[in-house]
A = this chain, B = another copy of it.
Amino acid sequence: MAKYQMLAETLRQKITEGVYQPGNKLPSEYELQNHFQVSRQTVRNALELLEKQGFVRSRQGSGTYVADREAEEQKKSRRIAVVTTYVDNYIFPRIIQGIESVLSKEGFQVQIAFTGNRIWKEEAILADLLEQDLRGLIIETTKSALPNPNLHLYRRLQEKGIPILFINSRYPELDCPVVCLQDERAGRLAAECLLANGHKKIGGFFKRDDGQGVRRYRGFLEALRDGGIRTAEEHILWFDTEDALDFDGMEEQIVKRLGACTGIMCYNDSTASHIMEIWKRRGISVPEDMSIVSVDDTDLAMLGDVGLTSVHHPKEKLGEKAAKQLISMIRNQLPGTSYEFEPYLAERNSVKDLTE
């Protein structure tokens, strides 16, 4: 910590402890210099930092005053935008619920929009948010594994001083914190489960336009390699947001790439359900003929004919964490920090033990 940061820290403590009261004038630069035995530049840097953080306000020609943060807080917008790809199904209602519960408890209003994972919908939403008096933004990326054409809009929001926090994935070009699952680890856990059960002909079905898909693929691939299995690349199949609207249209590819495996990893429970339907139509039984591991540990994993072994996604816990991180960014006016949840495997009945 630099000298000016230590001085700022000391002054901040005196402010929060009430030694210096809101609205009161701070000692002059000269007095601070003498009292703390530091240079004039150190005092100036410390005061500048405190002003940036909202603890003091300098008035032209008059000096530096302790900010009345409560009064200032009252005047500021309480509106926070929460933008996800989807709102009404799968893991999304619970993520939003987690975010909302924390934000509303802290007196913020939550405004919701969804992109459908479409870049031009994302563009329209961001353009709209730029016109509003927003206090912060929690947003899920749109097709984060592909080049994104809307980064300039995120940058304009940042320039307006609006804290942005991403959930589930991030754009590598933007310097924003993200709260997400440790997705490489999720892919690794799924692969290790198949390996531990003696599977060798292993395939994977991954989402290619979202960053989570690419990260899960990486963990999956590396775990198999570490286990001595170099899965033939023809047993890796990719789908995207458009394909997911109609998996039956991919049936031929699915059967060709994955049909000859004894076990496969699916991107998530929703994908796994579609694959299981296709297998069912074709008389392939899970797990007797084909084992499946997926990710997200949702109702879909629990309620089907066969319980799906699935890597757990924290859902509302992720939402709560995201909301807390954003609030801390707003309060401290500092860059936020990222957080990745460590996943674990929820084992059910979709993996056959081939070691017996």
Contacts and interface: CB of A to CB of B under 8 A. Distances in A.
B257 A221 contact: no
Nearest to A240: B238
A242 interface: yes
A225 interface: yes
A237 to B, nearest CB: 8
B249 A242 contact: no
Identical chains bound together, number:
2
Contacts of A241: 233
A77 interface: no
A230 interface: yes
A247 B214 CA distance: 23
A119 interface: yes
A55 interface: no
Interface string A236-273: 11101111000001101100110000000000000000
B252 A242 contact: no
A249 B252 contact: yes
B146 A214 contact: yes
Nearest to A226: B149
A120 interface: yes
Contact of A233 (B118, B221, B256): B118
Contacts of A236: 242
Nearest to A243: B253
Given A249-B253, A250-B253, A230 B120 contact: yes
Nearest to A246: B256
Interface residues of A, number: 32
A149 B222 contact: yes
Interface in A219-237: 221-222, 225, 230, 233-234, 236-237
Interface string A319-355: 0000000000000000000000000000000000000
Contacts of A149: 221-222, 225
A208 interface: yes
A79 interface: no
A143 to B, nearest CB: 8
27 contacts: A118-B233, A119-B233, A120-B230, A120-B233, A123-B230, A146-B214, A146-B217, A147-B215, A147-B217, A147-B221, A149-B221, A149-B222, A149-B225, A208-B208, A208-B238, A209-B238, A233-B241, A234-B242, A236-B242, A237-B242, A238-B238, A238-B240, A242-B257, A249-B252, A249-B253, A249-B256, A252-B252
Interface of A: 118-120, 123, 146-147, 149, 208-209, 214-215, 217-218, 221-222, 225, 230, 233-234, 236-238, 240-243, 249-250, 252-253, 256-257
